[in-house]
Amino acid sequence: MAMTYSYVAIPDAEVPRAARPLFQHMLDTYASETNKVISLWREFQPEDMSFRSHERSMSVEDVIKHELLSQRRFFGEFLGAPEPAAENVLPVSHTPQSYSDRLRELALPRLAYLAERDEKWWLERAQFFDVSRERIWIFWRRLLHTAHHRAELVVYLRLAGRRVPPVYGPTADFSWQGADPTTSAEAAGRK
């Protein structure tokens, strides 16, 4: 079954080839996760940007800004990628579309940078906050951090009455012929 997405920010043809094929999955996954985040952000409307699920929670815009800024820090400080100055990360316009466009703009050079890294680089230890970790670990930690905030904003979309786009399969709002979500023991038991 092929997943059906109405919008793809970074098509497969724009994902560079890794210097070592062993690491191609990392580039493909970063592009895929970026596509998922952008699809999600695009479902918000400008009037949703101040929405928060609780008075102590971040707003939609706070989460989006944090995602852009923390990716810059992870890739620049911890992985050594060339990144714009922190004050140049956020777009001038603060709309879901401008934030989405900016994430795509920032992701493309990161993909190119990662594509050039070899096995030695991925396995070298680098400083990560107050500990030392292999760069491959730092990269996966970045993607998990992004997935955490993506899930947070899925809840915000639902609470705000917006559609939830497919990211790993159909949702209550989007499906397609042949979609086969695993919501029963029968589906889970297929081999």
Q: What is the pLDDT of residues 9-65, one digit of tens each?
A: 999 999 999 999 999 999 999 999 999 999 999 999 999 999 999 999 999 999 999
pTM above 0.85, yes or no: yes
Tokens standing for residue 62: 């706070």
Let me know: does 164 contact 158? Beta carbons within 8 Å.
yes
Ramachandran angles phi, psi of 175, nearest 5°: -150, 180
Going by CATH, does the domain composed of 14-188 fall within 1.20.1640.10?
no
Phi/psi class of residue 131: alpha, beta or left (left: φ > 0; alpha: ψ in -120 to 50)?
A: beta
Among 10-19, 47-56, 68-77, 172-181, the least confident range:
172-181
Distance between CA 5 and CA 165 in Å, rounded?
A: 8
Ramachandran angles phi, psi of 128, nearest 5°: -135, 100
Let me know: does 86 contact 69? Beta carbons within 8 Å.
yes
